[in-house]
Structure 1
């Protein structure tokens, strides 16, 4: 699995230069790079088929789960309920780790572009309210998107809104969006299953 681009949305105070962030960043990079398909291949190759039609393309949830399992093995907590003081409590964060009494979270996009917006808003609000010290959203590039379940949120569609989130006034915290991409495509590999069934991708 490749990391194509990282966009820093919030980069404020001392945390982005801290040892804690260096360790968190290392965990995230290791988790992303550890994802393989087929399992044990040493790379990440998608089945060469568009995901635009029903029943075609590659699933996304097993990819996320592989990343989450790797983070969990490094001491992260999964599916953490976090109250960011909204009227309606949002769903749990995919993965969190504690940093000096606050949480750093990772969200991996498996929904549509509206889901991507909600994830960024949730993390930004948590940072503004001093509940989170930071967060990272991981989502596919537009190139990778073409081979996945239709309408998955992707980096290109989200990028026009970066200036809005960058305008937030924050004293301390870090928010980043990471674009990931496959190493290649082939008709000689199996499709990644849709849903949560199938072999682990790690």
Structure 2
């Protein structure tokens, strides 16, 4: 199925909105970032649950209580697979002499003539989201990384995921602080995704599964 046909179905995970936090003009000027954004949009558009179904349907149970709701790590598997097929390296990091950043710290990394582009899909709690952003800021500060993308769930989707999952509602109050950061030349875009259907007829997304397994 072509991407256009798939998008026309409107049933995979939905790219709800995006927020440019640092150096937004780079997304207009840089051909490499424009191509990376095309890759990210396609990878998000082809992210489904259950995997292989061609749709993204969430089991509508709150994740507030232990053992209830859906896990998060497996959600990104189709997205990372598509990025890898489009030439991104999986679990890679630019070579830096830092005790904070280590190989495997980024979900995906694209090498372009203009520099690196980093990608993260948040699968941890809100504290993990702040660590992920600090990691992306530091990567752009210490390496030739021209841009970064962070994917987080919407306020509507978070209800059905593991309690306290990193989400746009808890990150948005910090946008003004991050936009005032200096000394970072790269661009940062936060991407918000949301399910397109709810049904008790689909399996829950398992918790505690290995989200790095791509098969």
- Structure 2 portions without partners, runs of 5+: 1-12
- The structure carrying a bigger strand percent of its residues is 1
Are residues 1:194 and 2:196 paired? no
Q: How does 1:61-76 map to 2 (within 5 A)?
A: 61-76=73-88
* Alignment partner of 2:119 out of 98, 106, 113: 106
State the TM-score, normalized to the length of structure 1.
0.89
Alignment correspondent of 2:22: 10
Q: How does 1:90-105 map to 2 (within 5 A)?
A: 90=102, 92-100=105-113, 102-105=115-118
Give me the whole-angstrom Cα distance separating, in 2, the residues matched to 1:144 and 1:84: 35
Structure 1 stretch displaced more, 130-139 or 4-13: 4-13
Alignment correspondent of 2:178: 165
Give me the whole-angstrom Cα distance separating, in 1, the residues matched to 2:122 and 2:183: 24
Alignment correspondent of 1:56: 68
Alignment correspondent of 1:36: 48
Superposition deviation, residue 201 in structure 1: 9.6
Measured against aligned partners, the alpha-carbon deviations of 1:19-70 in whole angstroms (never above 9, x if no partner) come to 2112111110011110112334332110011111111111111112221111
> What's the Cα RMSD here?
2.4
* Alignment partner of 1:26 out of 19, 38, 41: 38
Highest RCO, 1 vs 2 (Cα 8 Å, sep ≥ 6): 1
SS in 1 for 2:107: strand
Give me the whole-angstrom Cα distance separating, in 1, the residues matched to 2:168 and 2:96: 24
State the TM-score, normalized to the length of structure 2.
0.84
Alignment correspondent of 2:161: 148
Instruction: Give the number of aligned pairs.
Output: 201
User: Structure 1 15/6 Cα, relative in aligned 2: closer, same or farther at 3 Å?
Assistant: closer
Structure 1 stretch displaced more, 5-14 or 62-71: 5-14
Measured against aligned partners, the alpha-carbon deviations of 1:114-172 in whole angstroms (never above 9, x if no partner) come to 11111111111222334311101001011100101111100110111111111123574
